[in-house]
């Protein structure tokens, strides 16, 4: 332990010092050790023999006015262990005790362990409430009741039907945009259907942008990307890997018998009469099975308004002024996943009125918006960005959106459109606004055409927000 580092004392630590259960030096040692080992203070104290668990529990009970619960009085069959991934229980030392409606009561030895509450709440979608349990009894209960992760996970699959997850309206979307009901007859595995549906719903509720299903030699994990960071949410048994892959491929209208080459597909999930979410699906053959990644395409992200983009007032004014010009070109640049599409669609929504004819060419169409004529580019049949642009110019357009300017031909047609009375919006993969001009020049676009057509270049990144409470 680093004796020079002074950790701030928590409410629990101060109470234990006041009750002479530990001294301040022991508290500092325990706080540092607990932080390094990702444990709660109480767990570290008891497991390392630095304090008595019963004395700690009684002290915390008096401090927080929380009654002490005897977990040994519960039968194993009465515990809702199927609701929580066993790994979460072990990592956070928190035992699900019982469920009442939408509330899950969890046994903890340290009620200030907010991370455990947040993780379990995120995982289950239920509100959580802590019940104080003596550390030693809690540790015994976790060992006794969660000794078989695979059995517990099987119980979890069997319990998902009470959420109505089988009844979700899920459709596969062909490359030509046609919707087809996902055929469950190919994978007659109702628990797997419920589990996959729950993962999709949890990802949407958790604000995730991507879902990763990843097989390895001895493990299988599911991760969500939220706020730019991948976060593990559950670890199904490895023997479920082929069934999970088959279910996802059926949902996205892929060939379930083909496991040697990557495949692409699309899923549409109707959550209500007015809200539907699209998932772009890609499979990748790996050493231990097919890794499957789903990109969540939520149309509501295009409706959030320019104030939600995080622009400064002067930046917002520049964007709005450029949008209301009768002609010109607006380019949004940045790396993959930096929010370029959302920024473009926010601008398109401002222009999306009955007085304007708006057309877009995208690969693929990520956000469906009424009032915009959206074209899915398909190079296999000759429908490239350049070909779509030529067709747009014969469709009496006011506003044209091009998913990405990738070559000289697309750039030249876009600039021609911007110079002849049309507003053109597109993206480029560059690192800064000045590099965008350089990129166009390197493509072969004459400098005078760039100068007379480009109205605005927006270079952006997505940064993680600081916690409202911690910052």
Please check whether residue 290 is in contact with residue 258, taking contact to mean a CB–CB distance below 8 angstroms.
Answer: no
pLDDT for the residue 151? 43
The H or E element that residue 285 is part of is: strand 276-286
In the chain, the percentage of residues whose pLDDT exceeds 90 is: 30
Question: Residue 188: is its pLDDT beyond 60?
Answer: no
The yes/no answer on whether domain 301-459 falls in CATH 1.10.287.1770 is no
Q: What is the mean pLDDT of residues 219-223?
A: 94
Q: Lowest mean pLDDT of 1-5, 201-205, 287-291, 434-438, name the range.
A: 1-5
- CB atoms < 10 A from the CB of 103, how many? 11
Which has the closest alpha carbon to 228: 210, 213, 201, 204?
A: 210
pLDDT for the residue 150? 45
Q: Which of 10-19, 295-304, 308-317, 432-441 has the highest mean pLDDT?
A: 432-441
Q: What is the mean pLDDT of residues 342-358?
A: 90
Please check whether residue 276 is in contact with residue 343, taking contact to mean a CB–CB distance below 8 angstroms.
Answer: no
Tell me the three state secondary structure of residue 18. helix
Q: Which two tokens stand for residue 154?
A: 């099987």
pLDDT for the residue 82? 64
- DSSP letters spanning 101-138: TTEEEEEES-TT-HHHHHHHHHHH-SEEEEEEE-HHHH
Q: Check residues 12 and 1 and name the one with the higher pLDDT.
A: 12
Domain ranges of the chain: 11-64, 68-130+142-148, 162-297, 301-459
Please return the burial class of 429, using the count of CB atoms within 10 Å of its CB with bins 0-12, 13-18 and 19+. Answer: middle
Q: What is the mean pLDDT of residues 130-142?
A: 84
Q: Check residues 72 and 200 and name the one with the higher pLDDT.
A: 200
Q: How far is residue 345's CA from residue 399's CA, in Å, rounded to a whole number?
A: 12
- CB atoms < 10 A from the CB of 273, how many? 7
Q: pLDDT per residue over 69-124, tens digit each?
A: 887 777 666 677 666 777 778 777 888 888 888 888 888 888 877 878 888 887 77
Tell me the three state secondary structure of residue 434. helix
Average pLDDT, the chain: 82
Question: Residue 342: is its pLDDT beyond 80?
Answer: yes
- DSSP letters spanning 197-237: HHHHHHHHHTT-SEEEEEE-SS-EEEEEEETTEEEEEE---
Please check whether residue 346 is in contact with residue 304, taking contact to mean a CB–CB distance below 8 angstroms.
Answer: yes
Beta bridge partners of 180: 172
In the chain, the percentage of residues whose pLDDT exceeds 70 is: 84
Question: Residue 162: is its pLDDT beyond 50?
Answer: no
The angle at the Cα of 328, spanning 313 to 305, to the nearest 5 degrees, equals 35
- Give 6's DSSP letter: -
Q: Determine the angle formed by the axes of helices 408-419 and 433-443, rounding to 10 degrees.
A: 110
Q: Which of 6-20, 25-39, 56-70, 231-245 has the highest mean pLDDT?
A: 231-245
Q: Determine the angle formed by the axes of helices 340-351 and 313-323, rounding to 10 degrees.
A: 60
Q: How confident is the model at residue 190 (pLDDT cuts 50, 70, 90)?
A: low
Q: Check residues 148 and 60 and name the one with the higher pLDDT.
A: 60
- CB atoms < 10 A from the CB of 139, how many? 18
Helices then strands, each counted (H, E), the chain: 16, 18
Q: How far is residue 91's CA from residue 132's CA, in Å, rounded to a whole number?
A: 17
Strands 328-333 and 289-297: unpaired
DSSP H helices, 232-312, are 241-251
Question: Residue 186: is its pLDDT beyond 50?
Answer: no
Q: What is the mean pLDDT of residues 148-156?
A: 49
Threshold 0.75, pTM exceeds: no
Beta bridge partners of 229: 226
Q: How far is residue 365's CA from residue 347's CA, in Å, rounded to a whole number?
A: 16
Q: Check residues 228 and 334 and name the one with the higher pLDDT.
A: 334
- DSSP letters spanning 331-379: EEE-STTSSHHHHHHHHHHHH-STT--EEEEESS--S--TTEEEEE-BG
Q: How confident is the model at residue 54 (pLDDT cuts 50, 70, 90)?
A: confident
Q: How far is residue 164's CA from residue 210's CA, in Å, rounded to a whole number?
A: 23
- CB atoms < 10 A from the CB of 199, how many? 22
Q: How far is residue 166's CA from residue 200's CA, in Å, rounded to a whole number?
A: 12
Q: Which CATH architecture does the domain made up of 68-130+142-148 adopt? A: 2-Layer Sandwich (3.30)
Please check whether residue 13 is in contact with residue 63, taking contact to mean a CB–CB distance below 8 angstroms.
Answer: no
The H or E element that residue 289 is part of is: strand 289-297
pLDDT for the residue 470? 64
Please check whether residue 454 is in contact with residue 446, taking contact to mean a CB–CB distance below 8 angstroms.
Answer: no
Q: pLDDT per residue over 164-182, tens digit each?
A: 555 555 655 555 555 555 5
- CB atoms < 10 A from the CB of 1, how many? 11
Dihedral over Cα of 406, 411, 413, 414: its sign = positive
The topology under which CATH files domain 162-297 is: Beta-Lactamase (3.30.450)
Please check whether residue 253 is in contact with residue 180, taking contact to mean a CB–CB distance below 8 angstroms.
Answer: yes
């Amino acid at each position: 332990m680093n004796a020079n580092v002074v950790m701030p004392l928590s409410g629990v630590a101060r109470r234990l010092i006041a009750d002479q259960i530990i001294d301040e030096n022991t508290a500092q040692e325990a706080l540092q050790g607990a932080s390094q080992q990702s444990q709660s203070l109480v767990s570290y104290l008891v497991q390392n023999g630095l304090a008595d668990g019963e004395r700690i529990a009684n002290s915390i009970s008096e401090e927080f006015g929380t009654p002490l619960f005897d977990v040994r009085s519960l039968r194993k069959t009465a515990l809702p262990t199927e609701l929580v991934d066993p790994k979460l229980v072990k990592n956070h030392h928190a035992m699900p005790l019982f469920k009442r409606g939408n509330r899950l009561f969890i046994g903890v030895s340290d009620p200030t362990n907010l991370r455990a509450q947040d993780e379990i709440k995120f995982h289950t979608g239920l509100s959580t409430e802590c019940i104080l349990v003596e550390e030693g009894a809690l540790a015994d209960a976790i060992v006794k009741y969660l000794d078989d992760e695979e059995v517990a996970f099987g119980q979890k699959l069997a319990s998902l039907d009470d959420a109505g997850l089988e009844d979700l309206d899920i459709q596969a979307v062909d490359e030509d945009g046609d919707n087809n009901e996902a055929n469950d007859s190919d994978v007659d595995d109702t628990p797997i259907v419920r589990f996959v549906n729950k993962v999709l719903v949890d990802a949407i509720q958790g604000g995730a942008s991507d879902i990763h299903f990843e097989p390895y030699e001895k493990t299988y994990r599911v991760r969500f990307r939220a706020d730019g960071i991948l976060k593990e949410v559950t670890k199904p048994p490895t023997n479920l890997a082929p069934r999970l892959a088959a279910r996802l491929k059926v949902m996205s209208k892929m060939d379930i018998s083909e496991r040697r080459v990557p495949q692409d597909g699309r899923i549409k999930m109707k959550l209500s009469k007015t809200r539907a979410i699209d998932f772009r699906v890609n499979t990748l053959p790996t050493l231990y099975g097919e890794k499957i990644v789903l990109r969540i395409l939520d149309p509501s992200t295009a409706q959030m308004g320019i104030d939600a983009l995080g622009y400064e007032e002067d930046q917002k004014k520049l964007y709005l002024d450029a949008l209301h010009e009768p002609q010109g070109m607006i380019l949004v640049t940045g790396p993959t996943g930096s929010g370029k599409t959302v920024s473009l669609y926010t601008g398109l929504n401002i222009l999306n009125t009955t007085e304007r004819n708006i057309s877009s060419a995208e690969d693929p169409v990520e956000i469906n918006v009424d009032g915009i004529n959206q074209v899915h580019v398909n190079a296999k049949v000759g429908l490239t960005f350049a070909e779509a642009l030529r067709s747009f110019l014969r469709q009496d357009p006011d506003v044209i959106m091009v998913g990405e300017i990738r070559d000289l031909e697309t750039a030249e047609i876009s600039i021609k459109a911007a110079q002849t009375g049309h507003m053109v919006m597109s993206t480029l993969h560059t690192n800064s606004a000045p590099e965008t001009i350089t990129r166009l020049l390197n493509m072969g676009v004459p400098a005078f055409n760039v100068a007379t057509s480009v109205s605005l270049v927006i270079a952006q990144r997505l940064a993680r927000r600081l916690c409202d409470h911690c910052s």
